[in-house]
Structure 1
Amino acid sequence: MQRLWVLLSITLGAGVAQADDTMRCGSQLISTGDRAFEVEEKCGAPAFRDVIGYTLGPYERREMKIEEWVYGPNNGVNSILTFEGSRLRHIERKRQ
């Protein structure tokens, strides 16, 4: 019985963790892994865009730009999108 509860907790926890990996822009949906141009097509230009640094790609052969885009506020919440090498890696939401 305890094994069932552990399995159920892990399954439900994975669903909750997945929720921050998508964001709605009007009737469109963006998710981690999308390209920057796809996000801009669906959500429009961000209110704020900033290059925050650089990272090395696979096998440290290529330098990739890390960029943050801010959308909002929408109902008092800003959405902060982090791109690495033009791919959406993280979606964060913060109350104003």
Structure 2
Amino acid sequence: MPRYAMIALLLFACDAQAMRCGSDLVTEGDLTVDVARKCGPPASKRVSPAADAPGAVNVERWVYGPEHGARYYLRFINDTLVEIDVDAGP
């Protein structure tokens, strides 16, 4: 495999688990408060509040972008970032 192809593959793999906000990096495991501090408010935000039952979870979905044509979808469970999905567009 050519060197440039391997570098591109590694960068693509990192995009699924990290998002750059200016000079800061957001990664899975970050808290909502940290993501908001690093990236500012999301373009959109959807909250599914936890039910009043033992073991219930609070799920939030935040969207950032488009940033250079890409849109970032973040999913939080109980205020912890568990997934970053990137849509690079057409």
* Contact 2:17/2:83 (<8 A) preserved: yes
- Is 1:35 the counterpart of 2:28? The answer is no
- Aligned runs of 1:68-87 on 2, under 5 Å? 68-87=61-80
CA displacement at 1:52 relative to structure 2 = 4.6
Structure 2-normalised TM-score?
A: 0.74
1:66 is aligned, of 53, 59, 71, to: 59
RMSD: 2.7
For residues 34 and 47 of structure 1, do their structure 2 counterparts lie closer, same or farther at Cα, with a shift above 3 Å needed?
A: same
More helix by share: 1
Larger RCO: 1 or 2 (CA < 8 Å, sep 6+): 2
1:17-75 deviation line (CA, Å, top 9, x unaligned): 454111100000010000000000000000100025759xxxx9431111100000011
Structure with the higher fraction of residues in strand conformation:
1
Q: Given the two structures, how large is their TM-score scaled by the length of structure 1?
A: 0.70
Aligned amino acid, residue 60 of structure 2:
E
Unpaired runs of at least 5, structure 2: 1-8
Q: Give 1:95 shift.
A: 3.3
Q: Which structure has the larger Rg over C-alpha atoms?
A: 1
Letter in 1 for 2:19: M
**How many pairs does the alignment contain?**
80
